[in-house]
Chains A and B, each alone.
Chain A
Amino acid sequence: MIVCVAVVGHQNNPLYIQSFTDADDALKLHHIVHCSLDVVDERVNNPKKSGPTLNETFLGLLYPTENYKVYGYLTNTKVKFILVTTDLDVRDADVRNEVPCCIC
């Protein structure tokens, strides 16, 4: 289940953050999104040779926390889409297909 969606601009300015759980969790989700921005920057600046190439827009699983998995997607104009989900058995391919649909 997706608990949080965030759209962040190219200067790491938040454009849209929406969480889909109870209010007291919202701050923690904002914090997770904020931390994931660092991971995105790291992936962009140090592309892993074995991982996705520099041309990949879908960054895949950014990092797992205790209850959540965080996925990232980077557009050509450096707008980042962050997806936080609690689904423990979701596969990369499913999320990869969902994200372009969300953008349109």
Chain B
Amino acid sequence: MGRDVSESCIDSLLTEMVSTYCNRFYANKPELAARRIEAIGYQVGHQLSERYTMERPCFSDHLEAIKFICKDFWFELFKKQIDNLKTNHRGTFVLQDNRFRWLTRMSIDQSPENGTSEELSIMADNKTMQSMHLYFPCGIIRGALSNLGIPCAVSADISNLPACSFVIRIKA
């Protein structure tokens, strides 16, 4: 089942996808663009989870499914596992990846702390662009989990690049 895909192609495709949806299709509506990108990720995650759970025995509970996402699923997608998993045992999980592969090529702004209002607004723009790139992996996680029978909501947090964490809230 092994077919090789060039990683730089994937990087370019994702960058172009985010850029097209934000700047061309839904130019002034970032929420719609974000939802569309997340929906694409949902489809991808849905189908990928079907493929990657083929040989495995069934999951006994939610924690097993999340551990599958952290280990096998993440390994298939990014050739590494999730670095840190935290849970509050009440349906919220935080998955932390210390070096998220799709963000490694993204520039990190080294702006001074007390910048002018212009610089601050530029920083805010950069933050929104960075968060746009994370809607796709959030969708992938959400699609994979919902195909395993776990409806959830996934959001991402990028307080320090290139590490990022994904927060999964399972709907009761």
Contact = CB atoms under 8 A, between A and B. Distances in A.
A54 B9 CA distance: 41
B56 interface: yes
> Chain A contact residues: over half helix, strand or loop, or mixed?
loop
A76 B60 contact: no
Contacts of B121: none
A103 interface: yes
Interface residues of B, number: 14
A78 B59 CA distance: 11
Interface string B61-103: 0000000000000000000000000000000000000000000
A79 interface: yes
Given A54-B60, A55-B60, A100 B49 contact: no
B58 A54 contact: yes
Nearest to A55: B57
A57 B58 CA distance: 7
A94 B58 CA distance: 21
Contact of A104 (B1, B49, B57, B58): B1
A76 B52 CA distance: 10
A74 B58 contact: yes
A79 B54 contact: no
Contacts of A57: 56-58
Task: Report which residue of B58, B60, B148 has the largest number of chain A beta carbons within 10 angstroms of its beta carbon.
Answer: B58
B57 A75 contact: no
Q: Which 3 residue pairs spanning A and B have beta carbons closest together?
A: A55-B57, A76-B53, A77-B147
Interface of A: 10, 54-57, 74-79, 100, 103-104
